Amino acid sequence: MAQLFFKYSTMNAGKSTELIKVAYNYEERGKRVLVFTPSIDDRDGRGVISSRIGLQREAIPVEEETNILQVFLRENEKHEVDCVLLDEGQFLKKHHVLELTEIVDSCGVPVIVYGLKNDFRNELFEGSYYLLIYADKIEEIKTICWCGRKATMVARVKDGRIVREGDQIMVGGLDLYVPLCRKHYNDGRLQEEQED
């Protein structure tokens, strides 16, 4: 039975790497996958998924007005699709998430979405909010804070300090964001303090 999966984490946990690996595994077995990514994340080009370890994969760019269900139906007509994968799910809109549920429920095709759960202010993104509501399975991909504890927060950083105000969406990598445990997110420490 097909399901909608939401696999979330903080920055630098390997979400994009896992998506690329899952796509490869399907394709190696002769299966067809459709891979999507929101076009807002164009750091490595529009419609490109890149991992920090150097893996890349082309994907179908998702605009705010894109109907993912229609794209799926069109592609499925050409050649049967076995799985849908989507990176950066936090940038989805409610209608995108509902379209993904329709792919699962009406077409019987599994959908796996990877993304952040919360933003740098520790609030849910729209896409994450609806994925948490509608996903059949929710899985955390773990990574660690500089102290070794599990990182659950994403801190936006500027000039070596945590920024707590600003627009929710500012696309960037480890140059702008750092994964932290709750303790160090709250106390603002980005690294172990050096003794004099």
Condensed to tens digits (0 to 9), the pLDDT of residues 79-124 reads 999 999 999 999 999 999 999 999 999 999 999 999 999 988 888 9
The confidence score (pLDDT) of residue 158 equals: 83
Q: What mean pLDDT is predicted for residues 144-162?
A: 87
Token reading at 140: 């955390």
Of 58, 88, 102, 139, the catalytic one is 88
Q: What mean pLDDT is predicted for residues 49-70?
A: 84
At residue 155, what is the residue type?
Answer: A
Element (H, E) at 179: strand 177-180
Q: What are phi and psi of 152, to 5 degrees?
A: -125, -5
Indicate whether 39 pLDDT > 70. yes
Q: For residue 92, give the nearest of 116, 56, 59 by alpha carbon.
A: 116
Q: For residue 17, give the nearest of 85, 104, 97, 107 by alpha carbon.
A: 85
Q: For residue 126, give the nearest of 71, 98, 89, 153 by alpha carbon.
A: 89
Q: What mean pLDDT is predicted for residues 26-35?
A: 94
Beta bridge partner(s), residue 83: 33
Q: What mean pLDDT is predicted for residues 68-75?
A: 96
Cα–Cα distance, 107 to 128 (Å, whole number): 23
Cα–Cα distance, 159 to 3 (Å, whole number): 43
CB proximity list for 89: less than 8 A, separation 6 or greater: 6, 8, 113, 114, 115, 127, 128, 131
Give ∠ CA 34-40-46 in degrees, rounded to 5: 60
The confidence score (pLDDT) of residue 43 equals: 66
Does the annotation count 88 as an active-site position?
Answer: yes
Indicate whether 156 pLDDT > 60. yes
At 195, is the pLDDT very low, low, confident or very high (cuts 50, 70, 90)? Answer: very low
Q: What mean pLDDT is predicted for residues 116-138?
A: 93
Where do we find the tokens 């984490």? 9
Report pTM. Answer: 0.87
Token reading at 20: 């690329």
Where do we find the tokens 């379209």? 99
Average pLDDT, the chain: 87
The confidence score (pLDDT) of residue 194 equals: 47
